[in-house]
Chain A
Amino acid sequence: MERYYQPEIECASREEIIAIQNEKLVEQVKHVWENVPYYRKKMEEKGVTPDDVKSIDDLHKLPFLSKTDLRDAYPYGLLGVPLEDCVRIHSTSGTTGKRVVAFYTQGDIDMWEECCARAITAAGGSKEDVCQISYGFGLFTGGAGLNGGSHKVGCLTIPMSSGNTERQIMFIQDLNATILCCTPSYAAYLGETMKEMGLSPEDIPLKAGIFGAEAWSEEMRRDIEKTLGIKAFDIYGLTELSGPGVSFECSAQKGMHINEDHFIAEIIDPDTGEVLPDGTQGELVFTAIDKKAFPMIRYRTKDICVLTREKCSCGRTHVRMAKPRGRSDDMLIIRGVNVFPSQIETVLMNNGYPANYQIIVDRVNNNDTFEVRVEMTSEMFTDNVGEIMERQKQLVDGLKSMLGIKAKVKLVAPKSIERSEGKAVRVIDKRKI
């Protein structure tokens, strides 16, 4: 039996959903026009006023927002309400100019947690469940979002956060956790550790997992499901749009339902900006129609994917998005952490290394491997192995403190990193999604 958190909305007719979207969009455009000078200016430049937007059919008239806008408007430029009406911020992990700081009113948080509650319920969660949240807590949206959603569903919530794998397993076993929320790579790692501890899926009370914040393959899903003895559900979101729960998977495991009463999705041609029909691959664009503090209109996610409105066996009527095929952005998500090549560059420069480097990301046994290759220089070279190793360790430590995750540093021969004309190939991502 499929469970719904809000069946009247999740299974509403197409007409009902469109009616909700029309009403909220008109109001949201007005709200932004009146309260966000940055976006109003963009509208004026395009010659659009709130009067031009009467329904979702007019959405395409509105200007896009991109990551660049977020950077230009940092930190308060896209704020839609007075600061005193905001109750929280969340942020992406970028410590470069690419950091995104998103603001929330209490209403925004309620909406977001509701979305997460729908995801947990779709994964089979109810008040009888024990939900362990092993996403990181803090500025990252993962922990807070699912934690709030779990409360709304009424699960007994374990706000575990990430790390300390043995303690994670102890809590799952001792407190009979039935639902696990974390990044897929961490779920895989937990599974691996349990196996090493001699635990079989029957020894683990978990029945479902909600995994997101990084790209993962269908193969990895089956792997996790087998080792943990669970059903694994995908969840999608962006800090800009609230966090996880913008869309989530149902029991059909065939794409993620977008919460259309809060987010309007479009697929555009990333080069021309032209809206593409359903079923066509393109860049995903979202309009958050009732988020007040940080209202995003036509926000370009840079995620490449496909939408489908085909009837879903779960009974939900909201549009489904396929797993994004990849980001056109330069940001990497490694072991659930956002990594920008520019951050790595900063650490290299600070440690006296040249900017000739390459990042190699791969996935071995469902865990991300992360290697930074740096060219050796005459200045750094010495006959003393210990000294070179010490410098290498300083670099590993520097990267760890900048990024929050450990990288393997490999010193390579000078000129061995291929130089390309124009934009350097800094990242080699071998992960097969």
Chain B
Amino acid sequence: MSVKQISIFVENRPGAMHEMTNVLAENKIDMRALSLAETEGFGIVRIIVDDAYEATTVLKEAGYINKLTPVVVVAIPDEAGGLNRVLQIFTDNNINVDYMYAILGGKSINEAFMIFKVDDPKKAESVLRAKGIRLVQQEEMSSL
């Protein structure tokens, strides 16, 4: 089960990001992870929240164009070579990483959570699981 990430179109100008987070704050939406891809003219804000359905609804109502994107969240032991091991599996299985970003692990301080946007999330999950890598599910992200 991949995790639902919300991608939001935001203009690249002072205050634009704040206006968007304001919508989330007003609706008591709790962010679990955030990453921003910026260009000269606009940005795409990628967030994982406690309630994806609620978040997309309020964002849409506020006029924000957004899309749900499935991402793979992997719990990586906080030790040397942890990330390398996961990427090795992707390489071996010819899985392309479009982008990735990290957050610190939730309850366990021994793990980092790496969020991967890959070309084939289903395949990625099954090969990771086969190698005994712990995957983080939507529920776990929501309850962080």
In-complex Cβ contact of B9 among A376, A384, A392, A410 (8 A): A376
B42 interface hit (Cβ, 8 Å): yes
Contact between B65 and A382, CB atoms less than 8 A apart: no
Contact between A381 and B63, CB atoms less than 8 A apart: no
In-complex Cβ contact of A383 among B11, B16, B63, B67 (8 A): B67
Contact between B39 and A389, CB atoms less than 8 A apart: yes
B141 interface hit (Cβ, 8 Å): no
Contact between A381 and B37, CB atoms less than 8 A apart: no
Known pairs A412-B11, A413-B9, A416-B11; A385 contacts B65 (CB<8 A): no
- Encoded as 1 (CB less than 8 Å from any A CB) or 0, chain B from 42 to 58 comes to 10101000000000000
Q: For the complex, would chain B's binding face be called helix, strand, loop or mixed by DSSP majority?
A: strand
A354 interface hit (Cβ, 8 Å): no
Q: Which residue of B lies closest to A386 (CB)?
A: B98
Known pairs A410-B41, A411-B42, A413-B9; A381 contacts B65 (CB<8 A): yes
Chain A residue numbers with a CB within 8 Å of B39 are 385, 388-389
- Encoded as 1 (CB less than 8 Å from any B CB) or 0, chain A from 403 to 433 comes to 0000001111111100000000000000000
Q: A118 to B67, alpha carbons, bound, how many Å?
A: 64
Interface centre among A377, A384, A409 (most CB of B within 10 A): A384
- Encoded as 1 (CB less than 8 Å from any A CB) or 0, chain B from 6 to 20 comes to 010111000010000
Distance between B140 CB and nearest chain A CB, rounded to angstroms: 22
Chain B residue numbers with a CB within 8 Å of A416 are 11
A164 interface hit (Cβ, 8 Å): no
B22 interface hit (Cβ, 8 Å): no
Contact between B11 and A413, CB atoms less than 8 A apart: yes
- Chain A residues within 8 Å of chain B by Cβ, number: 19
Q: For the complex, would chain A's binding face be called helix, strand, loop or mixed by DSSP majority?
A: loop
Q: A143 to B118, alpha carbons, bound, how many Å?
A: 56
In-complex Cβ contact of A413 among B63, B67, B117 (8 A): B63
Chain A residue numbers with a CB within 8 Å of B46 are 383
A68 interface hit (Cβ, 8 Å): no
- Chain B residues within 8 Å of chain A by Cβ, number: 20
Tell me the residues in window 56-91 of chain B with beta carbons closer than 8 Å to chain A beta carbons.
63-67, 69
Chain B residue numbers with a CB within 8 Å of A409 are 41
Q: Which residue of A lies closest to B68 (CB)?
A: A383
- Encoded as 1 (CB less than 8 Å from any B CB) or 0, chain A from 387 to 411 comes to 0110010000000000000000111
Contact between B41 and A382, CB atoms less than 8 A apart: no
Q: A381 to B43, alpha carbons, bound, how many Å?
A: 11
In-complex Cβ contact of A382 among B5, B10, B64, B67 (8 A): B67
Contact between B9 and A385, CB atoms less than 8 A apart: no
Q: Which residue of A lies closest to B38 (CB)?
A: A385
Distance between B61 CB and nearest chain A CB, rounded to angstroms: 12
Q: A273 to B37, alpha carbons, bound, how many Å?
A: 57
Contact between B98 and A414, CB atoms less than 8 A apart: no
Contact between B67 and A381, CB atoms less than 8 A apart: yes
Contact between A415 and B69, CB atoms less than 8 A apart: no
Chain A residue numbers with a CB within 8 Å of B66 are 381
Q: A349 to B52, alpha carbons, bound, how many Å?
A: 33
Q: Which residue of A lies closest to B16 (CB)?
A: A413
Known pairs A376-B9, A383-B46, A416-B11; A411 contacts B65 (CB<8 A): no
Contact between A415 and B63, CB atoms less than 8 A apart: yes
Chain B residue numbers with a CB within 8 Å of A389 are 39
Q: A411 to B65, alpha carbons, bound, how many Å?
A: 12
Contact between A385 and B63, CB atoms less than 8 A apart: no
Chain A residue numbers with a CB within 8 Å of B9 are 376, 381, 411, 413
Q: Which residue of B lies closest to A379 (CB)?
A: B65
Chain B residue numbers with a CB within 8 Å of A392 are 41
Contact between B10 and A413, CB atoms less than 8 A apart: yes
A378 interface hit (Cβ, 8 Å): yes
10 closest cross-chain pairs (CB), A and B: A383-B7, A383-B69, A381-B65, A410-B41, A385-B37, A411-B42, A376-B9, A378-B65, A413-B11, A381-B9
Interface CB pairs A-B, < 8 A, 12: A376-B42, A381-B7, A381-B9, A383-B5, A383-B44, A388-B42, A410-B41, A410-B42, A411-B41, A413-B9, A413-B11, A415-B63
